[in-house]
Structure formats: structure tokens, C-alpha cells
Amino acid sequence: MKINVLTLFPEMFTAVTGSILGRACEKGIITFNFINIRDFSNDKHKKVDDYPFGGGPGMVMMADPIFGALNSIDARGKKILYMSPRGNILDQTKIQQLAEEEELTILCGHYEGVDQRVLDHFDMEEVSIGDYILTGGELPAMVLIDTVARLIPGVLAGEDSATEESIYSGLLEYPQYTKPRSYEGMDVPEILVGGNHKLIYLWKFEQSLRLTRELRPDLFEDFVKNSKKLTKDEHKVLEKVLK
């Protein structure tokens, strides 16, 4: 996958191009193209914002520099995302859809947003990571990049790692433990060190069910509604939790 990012602060993205995603780049699985919007400003001071027509607080990013940046990569007609608090919330379904794209272009806004003509002309999809406001679109873009990239085959060491974790299974993740077996008077649950893989799996499944029911009842309800494909043993565990 190729990921183009239009931003005023390309240096911020070193946070997501190291470690796992860095290795994916080395393998040619992901290609990043960070574009500084200021490079396309015709102003001698590289100004990219101005006061909004009709008045109001703050400044708005001007159309011309963004048009220049997008035209430089021939972006029109391609999948372009604008990180915006008024967009649809980024969820599992959207992440999986985006992971199937061959190329994504992400626009990071700043100030009070961008000139609406940019969004209209390039038919951008607005995406939000939550109902709150940040100072810019860079952090939301990093969240989107990281969560989408993990679903691309070959990015994670284990092919099943991405979809087996936490919310991707429809349930929250069960408690995890590592060495030492006993610490400060707290012991690892005996079943996890007993060697019976079937019982270990069912214990983890039960813990996931209980945690999801307590912390995310909405997810738990959806899981129960779609539980027809569970095994006989899994159904027994679910019935136990429902009692």
C-alpha cells in the first residue's frame, strides 16, 4: 500500500515510520510519501492560512496550497481522507475497508479547518477518531495509519495476530500474564500453566466475554446476536456468562 500524507508538520510522522511499520517499509509492503503543504504556497513567507469569509474565530487553510499538493501526486479520483471531527468515526469496519486499498491519501488540517472547496473538488471522505477536538490532523492520521497498516498482510510477524486481538474478534482481550509466576503475593491463574490448551482457550474466551459484558455491553450484545457459529463448548461458556 502507498500512503500519501499532506501535512504542515511532516517531521511528526517519524513516530509511526519506525519499528514495525519501518520494517514493513523496508520489505516494500508499505510506501510513505509525506508532502509538506507549505512547499506549495505562493507566499514568500510560505503562508497557508487566512481569515474566514463571514468572520469567526481562528484561521482557515487556503485552497491553493492544498490544491497544489494534491495535484502534485495526481490525487483527484483517488481515495482521499480528511481527518476531521465532523467525519464518520473510524471503526473496525472502516479500517478493514481502508486496508484493502492500494493507495490512500490523507489530508491533515489545522487551525479552524480547510477551505470547503478543497473537500468538494477532490470528493474527500471525512474521518474522525472520536468526538473531541485536537490541534491538528496529524495525530488522528497516525492513529489511522497504524491501525490500518496492521491489517495489511505481512506487516505483523504473525498473519493471524491482527485479527485475533481484542476488538477484532468482537470481544475485548482477556487478561495477560508473564514471568514470574508469583509476584508480590499475586499468582498467575493455575489453568494457564496447566498445559491443557483446550481449557486454556475456554478460560480466555470466558474472560473476554466477562470483560466485554462489563466494559463494552454494546459489543457484548452484538457478539451474542451473532453467536450462531460458536462451538458447543463455546456456547456452554457463553450460557454460563449469561446466567
Distance between first and last Cα of the chain:
46
Q: Which distant-in-sequence residues (6+ apart) come within 8 Å of 123 by Cβ?
A: 80
C-alpha to C-alpha distance for 145 and 13, rounded to whole angstroms = 10
The Cα 95–Cα 109 span in angstroms is 20
- Residue 133 in marked binding region: yes
134 labelled ligand-binding: yes
d(CA 135, CA 184): 42
The answer on whether 215 is annotated among ligand-binding residues is no
State yes or no: 55 annotated in a binding site. Answer: no
Neighbours of 126 (CB within 10 A): 15
Distance CA 99, CA 147 (A): 9
| 174 carries a ligand binding annotation | no
194 is in an annotated binding site: no
- Is 87 annotated as belonging to a binding site? no
Q: Residues annotated in the binding site for S-adenosyl-L-methionine, as ranges?
A: 109, 129-134
Binding residues: 109, 129-134
